Amino acid sequence: EVLQAYLIANNVPIELVNRSAAHLRHLATTEGSLTAGQDALFADLPHSIKLAIDAQVKTGPFLRRCPIFDFCSDEILRGISAKLQLQFNVKGDKIITGGE
């Protein structure tokens, strides 16, 4: 239910929401119960579903808007997106140092 609400709030297509929920229901049936946080829930999903969710809510849309990735195919962008991790910064955080 938590995962479904999160995915729906982030405009993930309903087919993908249903696939994700069905997979987690299957895990709950075979393993007894699921008591995990958001990261653990996503970790239990098959790689193909994680990539599809990622493309909808995480980094895919941002990569598509970045001009340096204009030449990349969707497959390459999905691969890049799968390797990226969200990082939150506040004013004053050191993000990059000259020469890196």
pLDDT, average across residues 60-64: 79
Domains of the chain: total = 1
| Structural domain of 16 | 2-83
What is the rounded CA–CA span in Å between residue 19 and residue 17?
A: 6
Read off the pTM.
0.40
Is residue 19 situated within a structural domain? yes
Q: Is residue 31 part of a domain?
A: yes
Decide if 71 is inside a domain: yes
Q: Is 91 contained in some domain?
A: no
For the segment 13-22, what is each residue's pLDDT rounded down to a tens digit? 888 888 888 7
pLDDT at 35 over 50: no
Is 39 within the bounds of a domain?
yes
**CA distance linking residue 27 with residue 21, whole number of Å:** 10
54: in domain: yes
pLDDT single digits (tens) 71-91: 888 888 877 877 777 666 777
